[in-house]
């Protein structure tokens, strides 16, 4: 099984937000190779911004190195660019979210995992919250 993660999964862990334990279980399953993980370069960028804004450069390097080791990192290419533009035009979601969603579709993941309720409602892909994924698949 392959999952693609949204930025808010990593942010929930970093900030120890409510339900971050579900996100941690997903990352642990990926690191232990029980499931495959993919992540867009846009997600990596958004997470790194949070580290750099707080001058947490060492933590940023650790995060990036871990992501490279444990995830299939999906770079933005022409196919993703085109699909993101279509998603943005059709659903009016923010462009970075459209690019992340297009990356998820392009990755051939079984599930896209996010806390973003807008994406959960609007998109016609297998989208689950971290809570739903853990309860149903781990």
3-state SS track over 67-93? HHHHEEEECCCHHHHHHHHHHHHHHCC
3-state secondary structure of 15: coil
Q: Which H helix or E strand runs over 131?
A: helix 130-137
Q: Residue 59 is part of a domain; what is its CATH number?
A: 3.40.50.1010
Parent domain of 80? 2-137
- For all residues of the chain together, what is the average pLDDT? 93
The residues, ordered by sequence, that sit 6+ positions from 28 with a Cβ below 8 Å of its Cβ are none
In eight-state DSSP terms, residue 34 is S
pTM, 2 dp: 0.91
Overall domain count for the chain = 1
C-beta separation of 115 from 6 below 8 A: yes
Mean pLDDT of 54-60: 96
99 pLDDT above the threshold of 90: yes
């Amino acid at each position: 099984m392959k999952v693609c993660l949204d930025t808010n999964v990593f942010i929930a862990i970093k900030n120890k937000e409510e339900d971050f334990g579900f996100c941690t279980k997903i990352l642990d399953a990926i690191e232990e190779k029980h499931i495959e993980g993919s992540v867009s370069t846009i997600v990596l960028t958004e997470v790194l911004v949070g580290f750099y804004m707080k001058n947490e450069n060492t933590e940023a390097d650790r995060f990036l190195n871990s992501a490279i080791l444990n995830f299939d990192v999906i770079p933005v290419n022409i196919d993703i660019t085109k699909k993101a533009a279509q998603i943005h035009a059709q659903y009016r979601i923010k462009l970075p979210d459209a690019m992340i969603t297009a990356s998820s579709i392009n990755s051939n993941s079984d599930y896209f995992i996010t806390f973003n309720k807008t994406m959960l409602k609007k998109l016609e892909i297998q989208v689950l919250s971290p809570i739903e994924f853990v309860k149903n698949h781990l």
